Structure 1
């Protein structure tokens, strides 16, 4: 079977339409259609069936897409294994969110300059949705992303995940608020009538807010959205609402942090790479250095 055709089938299983596949992989829709038709002829069974004005994978197509995950990864691994480079050399493209770049990626840059000058990083600051899109399009080699234990990310089986560091989060409220303590549900219930502030570029903390609110039996009134933690703090001080904040973060005047327990919201960081790429020497080196650079929650600077 042609590996390129399998890659197109796998992309269709993930993206859901030929148009999306064509836009993501920068080919024409007719190319996608023709190549998948040729793959169906090659394997001797229909891989697509009509679904309104669109198409969807047949059961056979879904099974073949499942096999394609391993086949494509194996081909990538073989290419990496046959790389003639005797030592790591090359450019590794990284997409990561702000805090991870500052506290985890930049120290790796310094170590590379000192010990591995032939390996360099190209860094983009991106929130997880954008970083994952770049990784799926093969526009970056590694993404540093995050999720929460109360809102775990659904990781594509075509990607490999490696956990880095994690940190506890609590509820940031105006310091003039009445004192509250107890379980997560009990603390959340005390602010059931408040406006809530969530991230504008990532849905994870909104899912956590909705989860803890459901434990307390109310629907949160999500009014404001902001991407910057300093801005979120300013909004809390201004009395615009309450929000999840890292417990190891900056102790801002005008804000009280309510600890949450049973359950404790955990912010979890990890790296993502395309399956089969891990054997590429520069990427493997960067991955190793990132794992060594794991920081304890209280060592992360949330500014």
Structure 2
């Protein structure tokens, strides 16, 4: 049904006569009458009946006028939201990964809730590969994903990417009398060529990162353990059963574990906001992104100086 005709119906209920509707809207009386005739055909029921020299609404006409008033109010609310002049309202499904949840996502959502209570955020935890699938299928509206500078990720053209920071990578290895937290060099990394290495069970980016990093130091890593949970990785390291790569945000002080910066050998982990191309125009998504970027300042680094390979495509 045409919004103009619904608006005329609401005005007729309010004003009572065709003449008053024509005067208020600036239309001729015959034009108003033709609009009502079309509206009756669209509704499939009689909306008006003669009442002397005037017309009056039928019960169906009154009921449709109630619906019309609600529809027009919702349309106006939607226009106001899209224009950014009213309170932002809506649900944003945010898919994120574990290590940024506490230091970035939760503080961001706390501030968002205080200042924009009309925005509801639903959290979904997934690693980047699954997160990108959810975004492309429409099962999530926005994602926080990561990629390694040594292993750039390909992002589909259907998604738009905004990098919010980087974090260094560390070698997590068992503490000992000879353990050092100094930055790794190829020579120092070769000292771990005889150790068992820890990778994840998905065998994707992290595997490639470990392989490339160790190749640069002149050896092939012996990957024995495949563990996704980074806390469990640290416990395995503390037990002396292996070594692994740890992003700075996930590294915690733990007895029996030493963290050594990998520097240029390991590159860095880039953290980015991702959404479907065109979705950034919706105000709730823009606001969620603003709060996430703000929370990331001071937690993530802003430079990308350690990157030695070209990044994946960006929008």
TM-score for the superposition, normalised by structure 1: 0.66
Q: Which runs of 5+ in 2 are unaligned?
A: 1-77, 302-315
Alignment partner, residue 239 of structure 2: 238
Preserved CA contact (<8 Å) 1:109 1:120: no
RMSD: 2.6
- Give the aligned length: 221
SS at match of 1:293: helix
What is the Cα deviation at residue 207 of structure 1? 1.8
Offset at residue 271 of structure 1 (A): 0.8
Cα distance, 1:261–1:107 mapped onto 2, change above 3 Å: closer
Q: Specify which of 270, 275, 278 is matched with residue 276 of structure 1.
A: 278
Distance of 2:114 and 2:220 partners within structure 1: 52
Deviations 1:65-120 (A, max 9, x none): xxxxxxxxxxxxxx999947743210001100112222222122212221111111
- 2:185 aligned with 1:151: no
Supply the distance in 2 between the matched residues of 1:298 and 1:136 (Cα, whole angstroms).
26
Q: Deviations over 1:245-301 (max 9, x none)?
A: 2346312111122232343521221110010111011111111111111143489xx
**Which residue pairs with 2:96 in the alignment?**
96
Equivalent residue number for residue 115 of structure 2 = 115
SS in 2 for 1:193: coil
The structure whose Rg is larger is 2
> Where do 4+ consecutive residues of structure 1 move more than 6 Å?
79-82
Deviation sequence 1:138-176 (CA, Å, 0-9, x none): 000001101111112111122111112321112111112
The more displaced of 128-137 and 247-256 is 247-256
CA–CA distance in 1 between the matches of 2:193 and 2:299?
Answer: 28
Cα distance in 1 for residues equivalent to 2:226 and 2:297: 28
- Name which of 244, 264, 267 aligns with 1:265: 267
Q: Which runs of no fewer than 5 residues in structure 1 stay unpaired?
A: 1-78
